Structure 1
Amino acid sequence: MNQLKDHNLVVVGGGVAGLEVATAFGRRSKRGAGASVTLVDRDASHIWKPMLHKIAAGTANTSQQQTTFLAQARAAGFTFQPGELSGLDRKAREVEIAPIHAPDGRLLVPARRLAYNKLILAVGSQANDFGTPGVAENCFMIDSRRQADAFNNELRIRLLQCIAQKDKLSIGIVGGGATGVELAAELLLLAEAATAYGAYDLPSLISITLIESGPRLLAAFPEDISQFTREKLETLGIRVMTGVPVNAADPDGFQLQDGSRVPASLKVWAAGVKAPEILQNLDGLELSRSGQLIVRASLQTTIDPDIYAIGDCASLTLSDAQRPLPPTAQVAHQQAQHLIRHLDEAIEIGAQLPDFQYKNLGSIVSLGEYDAFASLGQFGFFKGMSLRGRLAQLSHIMLYRSHQARLHGFWRGSLLWIIDRLDAALRSSIRLD
């Protein structure tokens, strides 16, 4: 135990994997039975990433869904350091944290260096524009709470123009994965819900186009779910285009590879996944072609056994697989739990971490209140089956509530669920401020 107490465990990234790890080890440290834990993140709070499309659409309450890092640190027993990872000194065993500036340029917190004995990198991923001209300048992305808030702020301005001036609003979403599909449905739900507050013409003023370069939506799902999802979206009035790569984005829309255009005054890029740029400058750690940190089956980086990478920023190809594990919340959670179970023993007695074993429990896509689809994966009694409707929606809800329970404990997590239900009953169903 003394060896554990002498260790500094630094976790960089407060997403699904990072916050679960920091919380679990922080609780052990609080009981005097574990290493001291520091969490580093550039944001002030955590939101479950599959919830970001609701924040972006304004159909979920941001303050209700976020976990503030300082409050979680106090409750769980870890230390929170605000700031963005800017470098790594493996010889000195220190991570470098960028300075923090105010919006007007004032220096608030200078650059810092944090010492570690074990370092866990869980910095997530972001959408990949593949260098497509005009995307960075003209499109929103929703990979973080800040980006989701920024999109929602602009969306509410455009909706106000629609309501006051009867202007039409065309929304274009590039990317037919879960994020793009769920955002399209949630935006339609927003327009329909707004009619209850007097915006009767809003649904007729908004058009939504979902563009996917591949042959079908939801490429990671079985084909029947892809087809059902497309049919449902089109029935709801969303225009779905597949097999049409985007060549460029401009203020007025998207230029497609076949020479046609999709008009869009509000544009979202939700296609592709890439690792954060900072991973290119981490003191020689080995990277995959997509910029992720290559890890062994133990989740240790190939160059340095004291540095671990989990979640979207890690590239792990299992011995019986041809491709790396996908960048999903399910993989991130399972990798976090693997370290939570085994890392203390590795520190205390110098044991080798066992190999990570991934269980594909399936995937779920939710179309808000309209429908939901679930593929049950390759494990369990119902392996390979698909679900649709209320049962799939309940499964999607339980994934989120399970995440909350891991962060806050069963009873507090249950209270949060009750509070959410009361909030939904008492407050407006959409953001109106």
Structure 2
Amino acid sequence: MQANQTAAADSAHRIVIVGGGAGGLELATRLGKKLGRKGKAQITLVDANRTHLWKPLLHQVAAGTLDHHADEVEYIAQARWNYFNFRLGRMDGLNRAAKEIYLAPMQDEDGEMLLPRQTIPYDTLVLALGSQSNDFGTAGVKDHCILLDTAQAAERFHKKLINNFLKVQAQPLGQGKGRVTLAIIGGGATGVELAAELHMTARIMSSYGLNHVHPEQDLKIVICDAAPRILPMLPEQLSASVARELRKLDIDIHTNEKVVEVRPDGVQMASGKFIPSALTVWAAGIKAADFLKEIDGLETNRANQLVVLPTLQTTHDANIFAMGDCAACPQGENLPIVPPRAQSAHQMAMLLAKSIPLKIQGKTLPAFKYHDYGSLVSLGEYSTVGSLMGGITRGSVFIEGLMAKWMYWSLHKKHQVAINGWFRTWLGTWIETIGRVKNPRIKLH
């Protein structure tokens, strides 16, 4: 009996999902419950990390207002609970003829070999590799900037921030020394949300006894962007409202300023302006992973995104799908591609959870249709603003205040429900609430 079950498992359709971000993990979870549980397919999720963190939370990790260890999802445990397999590794190659992907060797923290080069066969491949920061070749970015692509980078930034605050605290009051200057290059959602969170961090640290750390006097935050306004991809009313809130916090905003070089002590603009900075964060653009560029003959665009059909199948291989930030998905003639947002990845995961079982059965696949439900920008405890679109109204509705805060919070909860279910999410929310009472409001180490 056991031999028959093993043979059936070996002959099952092999679905490999590369990338355990918001979309990839949700898809693996849904397919595991739908196909893996019944032995109709083998689902394997591949990721270079051992845990998952919702990427829109990275600015909170950087500011110290979120302990990412408390919010992470263990891939191995998630796989065990939802009937799929997890493989640790970083994809670096593809062989479409042999239907195989290749994972680079991995070393542990001491530089010793952890995993050798791996080969994983597939029948259906889903690339959900997300995106990474795009420095556009700007001089000095790699050497003098922190790119908030991962929880590890956000945590490294937070440690640098705390160290700078400790230096300020060591200075006698009234001497005007030790000011922490911080430049955020990029006025998108990540940049503006990080700026507000950092201001709040300084205010909270002052209440914890670092009384030499004043949010305005000892922390100078500057946002730089080449566009005419911050949040250029969002409605102008939302952009203007966010700019007003940031200026109330004494956060400087420099628009129409292109960065040409990042130095150890600051940022040089094309206009000739120089902005001093002890810490510099790059949040000015994104691209797909460099190794995807025309990988094994697949079509890609200038941002290394895989060009896909409306079914999310790649243009040159019907057995390979792409979703999320690494996919260039058309919305229609003369329209831009689907924007790289968490809501896009969620909608694509929902579609592929239906499409892949249809593909296994040899049936016609539905086309992806993106629904823009609006945008929300959180400025920590100070404010939340946004615009709601889609099913709520024929146009758009501008919201702010308590309603916007609740909706921003509910986006994260919706993601948790998708991967953990209602009960685990409900239980986790109570644990979070208790943790806020027991733990400091910010991470202090």
The residue that corresponds to 1:244 in the other structure is: 257
Q: How far is 1:321 from its partner?
A: 4.5
2:39 corresponds to 1:37: no
Q: 2:326 aligns with which of 301, 310, 313?
A: 313
Of 261-270 and 283-292, deviating more is 283-292
CA drift of 1:341 comes to 2.1
Q: CA-atom RMSD, angstroms? A: 1.5
Counterpart position of 2:4 = none
Once residues 71 and 154 of structure 1 are traced to their aligned partners in structure 2, the CA distance between those partners, rounded to angstroms, is 32
2:316 pairs with one of 283, 287, 303: 303
**Partners of 1:5 and 1:409 in 2: CA distance:** 30
Give the partner amino acid of 2:211. Answer: Y
Are the aligned partners of 1:4 and 1:34 in contact in 2 as well (CA < 8 Å)? no
Kindly provide the CA deviation profile for residues 375-394 of structure 1, in whole angstroms up to 9, marking residues without a partner as x.
Answer: 11233347411100110011
Whichever residue aligns with residue 319 of structure 2, its letter is: D
- For 1:170, the equivalent position in structure 2 comes to 181
Residues 376 and 226 of structure 1: CA distance in aligned 2, closer, same or farther (over 3 Å): same
How many residue pairs get matched?
Answer: 431
Any stretches of 5+ residues in structure 2 without a counterpart? 1-7, 172-176
Q: Paired residue for 1:355?
A: 367
Q: Residue 8 of structure 1 contacts residue 118 of structure 1 at CA under 8 Å; is this kept in 2? A: yes
| Cα distance, 1:110–1:281 mapped onto 2, change above 3 Å | farther
Q: 1:359 to 1:328 in 2, by over 3 A?
A: same
1:281, CA displacement in angstroms? 5.6
Of 207, 215, 238, the residue aligned with 2:220 is 207
Q: Deviations over 1:232-251 (max 9, x none)?
A: 10011111111111110000
Give 1:128's aligned residue: 134
Is it true that 1:345 corresponds to 2:358 in the alignment?
yes
2:248 alignment counterpart: 235
Amino acid at match of 1:171: L
Is contact 1:171-1:264 (8 Å) kept?
A: yes
- Deviation of 1:30 (Å): 4.5
Displacement of 1:112 in angstroms is 0.3
* 1:109-124 matches, cutoff 5 A: 109-124=115-130
Over residues 187-237 of structure 1, what are the superposed CA-to-partner deviations in whole Å (9 max), with x where a residue is unaligned?
A: 001001112210122122111001111000111211111011101100111
1:141 aligns with 147
Q: List per-residue Cα deviations over 1:35-71 (Å, max 9, x = no partner).
A: 1111111111111111110011110011111111111
Assess if the C-alpha contact under 8 Å between 1:87 and 1:281 holds in 2: no
How far residue 258 of structure 1 moved from its aligned partner, in angstroms, is 0.5
Is 1:293 the counterpart of 2:293 in the alignment? no
Could you tell me how far apart the structure 1 residues matched to 2:246 and 2:102 are?
46
- The equivalent of 1:198 in structure 2 is 209
State the partner residue of 1:55: 61
C-alpha separation in 2, matches of 1:150 and 1:353: 44
Q: Which residue of 2 aligns with 1:391?
A: 403
CA deviation profile, 1:88-117 (whole Å, cap 9, x unmatched): 011111110001012333211100000111
1:421 maps to 2:433 = yes
Q: Residues 315 and 359 (structure 1 numbering): CA distance in 2 closer, same or farther, change over 3 Å?
A: same
Cα displacement string for residues 65-90 of structure 1 (whole angstroms, at most 9, x for unaligned residues): 11111111111121111110010011
Q: C-alpha separation between the residues in 2 aligned to 1:20 and 1:423?
A: 26
Match of 2:291 among 243, 263, 278: 278
For residues 118 and 148 of structure 1, do their structure 2 counterparts lie closer, same or farther at Cα, with a shift above 3 Å needed?
same
Give 1:106's match in structure 2, choosing from 104, 112, 117.
Answer: 112
* Cα deviations by residue, 1:149-183 (Å, 9 ceiling, x for unpaired): 22112222222222223621100000000000000
Asked whether the 8 Å contact 1:69–1:80 carries over to 2, the reply is yes
Distance in 2, matches of 1:210 and 1:278, equals 31
Cα distance in 2 for partners of 1:285, 1:31 equals: 32
Question: AA paired with 2:198?
Answer: L
Q: Hey, what's the Cα distance between the residues in 2 that align with 1:109 and 1:322?
A: 44
- Measured in 1, the distance between the counterparts of 2:353 and 2:9 equals 17
Q: Does 1:401 align with 2:407?
A: no
1:326 is aligned to 339
For normalisation by structure 1, the TM-score amounts to: 0.97
Moved more, 252-261 or 98-107: 98-107
The counterpart of 1:183, out of the listed 170, 177, 194, is 194
Deviation digits for residues 343-383 of structure 1 (CA, Å, limit 9, x no counterpart): 21221x20121110111111110001100111112333474
State the TM-score, normalizing by the size of structure 2. 0.94
Which consecutive segments of 4 or more residues in structure 1 shift more than 4 A? Answer: 2-5
| Paired-residue identity, % | 39
Distance 1:4 1:108, change over 3 A: closer
What residue is the counterpart of 1:71 in the other structure? 77
Which whole-Å deviations, capped at 9, do the CAs of 1:261-295 have from their partners, x for residues lacking one?
00001000000111111102621110012210000
